[in-house]
Amino acid sequence: MRCEPRATALLADALAALGLLEKNSSKYSLSDGAKRYLVAASPEYLGGMILFDAALWDEWGRLDEAIRTGRPVRDPDMFQNDAAATERFIRAMDSLVRARGDAGWTAAHLNLSRTRSIVDLGGGPGTYLVEFLRKHSELRGEIWDLPGTLAIAQRILHERAADVIDRIELRQFDYHRDSPPNRVDAIFLSNIIHSENERDNLRLMHTCCRALNPGGLVIIKDHVMDDAMTTPAAGAVFSLYLLLTTRGRDYSFTEIKHWLAQAGFMTPEIISLPSPPFSSSIITAVRP
């Protein structure tokens, strides 16, 4: 692609000012940060998330409409109605988790030593599940998700997880309608509850309880807000995106504990991930 030299120099200088390029005389090269996060071959490539955010430009332009009506400005279909949108969404979530390191940190700090079977519910490409299986050789995992997502998950797993793919089963599952296909020792939900309203999250916790063996563990990773709903700041701002595209928002520990208790779970605990670079927390609870 050819670009006009003067305009290109203006762009390159701006990128150098932002630290994405390094300028030496009239020559430009990628900075270390750009090589790490903006090169597709990098394991920490963040481009998937950048492309996803760019595709939401029009939705953000309708924020005033969402605030007036209280309703999303697009169909809250979790990007399932268009194959290109589905892939953009799934690869965005995957690239953000890989670039920031959430999955590796969670696998290192979550105690799954007594767990033999785990479901990544709404797990997308299994970014977390793969790290769990790599850390625990005796563990078997399943991804329960929608059909459009599972098709992409299968491709990504073959691209990057050949070492554990024989211990992963993909199951088509819509937690709004389907009964759990089997029981397992643990269920992991990353960034799931923030897409749903309070009623559906309570129902989801009941579904998780039915899907667990006695003594099983539910693990919720998400922005977990304080009771004032202003901390962490990233969660408060992210709730505006959720207003635009989903039925949900970010929730407090108090709210989540209530759903867990109503569904029959015991001993809820919360672990805050170190910030920076993270802005999430992990909540665990046990099925009696």
**Kind plus residue range of the DSSP H or E element containing 217:** strand 212-222
Coil vs helix vs strand at 119: strand
d(C-alpha 73, C-alpha 36), whole Å = 34
User: Which among 218, 199, 200, 198 is positioned nearest to 208, based on CA atoms?
Assistant: 218
d(C-alpha 281, C-alpha 204), whole Å = 19
Backbone angles phi, psi at 117, to 5 degrees: -140, 135
Provide the token pair at 115.
Answer: 């767990």
Positive or negative, the CA dihedral 46, 48, 54, 58 is negative
Catalytic residues: 194
Positive or negative, the CA dihedral 110, 169, 215, 114 is negative
Residue 19, by phi and psi: left (phi above 0), alpha (psi -120 to 50) or beta? Answer: left
Number of Cβ within a 10 Å radius of residue 265: 24
Residue 282, by phi and psi: left (phi above 0), alpha (psi -120 to 50) or beta? Answer: beta
